[in-house]
Amino acid sequence: MLTKKKILILDDYPELLDALKIFLEGQLYQVCTVTSKELLAAELKRFKPDLIILDVFINGIAHGREICKIIKSDIETKHIPVLLMSVSSKGLENFQECQADAIIEKPFDLSEFLQQIKTLVNAFTEKRITQRKDKNFQFGYALKKKQVQETKGLIPRSETGLFVTSTGINIPGIM
């Protein structure tokens, strides 16, 4: 079963949030919407999105850029792609300063909007797969390095409880 990708959207216009939610759920995304930066933190932890869409101007103030900086500086969320959207092209200038991954100006064409979402979500998914492979490789490398050191007598086998044999690794009491 294919897992729906999760999108968290922050905008201060509930009507726009409702429309985007209906549209994106029709494209088989799971969508969570919030209307204030105060609600965003809790939803980030609870919802665990694959993509965050932020309006630059929330209640007339450029909070979206500040929020993006916070998201991108936090170890728990910095890997999540952020799409900034704004009615004002000025609000989207220098978007790299807040480390946003992409921008879109409102009003936008829905097909362009959807294409940006697909690109960002796919890049995020690929990044997570690569990170998992790297972690597995690093674990395998560390285990192999330990085996070599044990075999060469660099780590006493009694310290690790592992015994390297011609058939693999034996752990006393298990194998």
Residue 65 lies in a domain: yes
CATH classification of the domain holding 122? 3.40.50.2300
Residue 40 domain flag:
yes
Q: Which domain holds residue 104?
A: 6-130
- Measured torsion, CA atoms of residues 64, 66, 67, 72, in degrees rounded to the nearest 10: 120
Is 53 a member of any domain? yes
Is residue 99 included in any domain, yes or no? yes
Residue 44 in contact with residue 82, Cβ under 8 Å?
no
What is the CA angle 62-18-27, rounded to 5? Answer: 105
Per-residue pLDDT of the chain (175 residues; tens, 9 = 90+): 568 999 999 999 999 999 999 999 999 999 999 998 889 989 999 999 999 999 988 887 768 888 999 999 999 999 999 999 988 766 556 666 788 899 888 888 999 999 999 999 988 676 655 555 555 555 555 555 555 555 555 544 444 444 444 444 444 444 4
Is position 141 within any domain?
no
What domain count does the chain have?
1
